[in-house]
Amino acid sequence: MINITELRPGNTFEYEGNIFTCLDIDLNKTAMAKMKVKVKSKNVKTGSVLDLSFIGGDKVELLRLDKKQMQYLYDDGVGFVFMDMETYDQISIDKARLEWESNFLVPEAMVTITMYESEIIGIELPAKMTLKIVECEPAVRGDTVNKAMKDAYLETGLKVRVPLFVENGESIIVYTNDGTYDSRA
């Protein structure tokens, strides 16, 4: 247990049975009142961002999350199967828990699995991933009034807006945080 004033951004802590990561902390001390501590935090399991309020003397339990690099293997129908490259152990994570991440999972992709006491909390994708375009419209000549973009469908089923010069079958780099086009691969 640590005093709430010792919490720093990046620390993971437990509060009311939930696991949070501290994003930002604001300490406010006035002469007439106890110190008020506002912690902007992210719920590790749900991904929701909350502002938690504490008093200066409150304590929280600091947690240590285990992170392990694993390789995505395949979709088994119920979940996504990942393999530890050191021990060759395989784990399956339910599809419902990885709805957004599934847009970027291609075989042999390396991801970071986050665990707490052997319970899988989630996965962290790299900032950018290379994916192949399986279907896109042909470029229309003269359609360049603004920054001309067209729809493209990637091998994972994700729909992305790409520039007109990108062709069907090319590989592109996509940001995993919002699914937008970055560049050609």
Q: What is the pTM of this model?
A: 0.72
pLDDT band at 174, cuts 50/70/90? very high
Dist. CA 130–CA 179, nearest whole Å: 11
Highest mean pLDDT among 16-20, 52-56, 80-84, 112-116: 80-84
Dist. CA 17–CA 9, nearest whole Å: 20
pLDDT reported for residue 40: 92
pLDDT reported for residue 159: 92
Q: What angle do CA 41, 54, 3 make, to 5 degrees?
A: 90
pLDDT band at 143, cuts 50/70/90? low
**Around Cβ 57, how many Cβ atoms within 10 Å?**
11
Question: Of 7-21, 122-136, 139-153, 158-172, where does mean pLDDT reach its minimum?
Answer: 139-153
Q: Which pLDDT tens digit goes with each residue over 118-138?
A: 788 888 899 999 999 999 887
pLDDT beyond 70 at 142? no
pLDDT beyond 90 at 70? yes
pLDDT beyond 80 at 154? yes
Going through the chain in order, the beta strands assigned E by DSSP cover 2-3, 12-15, 18-28, 36-43, 49-55, 59-63, 66-75, 79-84, 90-94, 110-116, 119-124, 128-136, 149-154, 159-163, 171-175, 181-184
Q: What is the mean pLDDT of residues 162-175?
A: 90
Q: Which pLDDT tens digit goes with each residue over 92-116?
A: 988 888 888 889 999 999 999 988 8
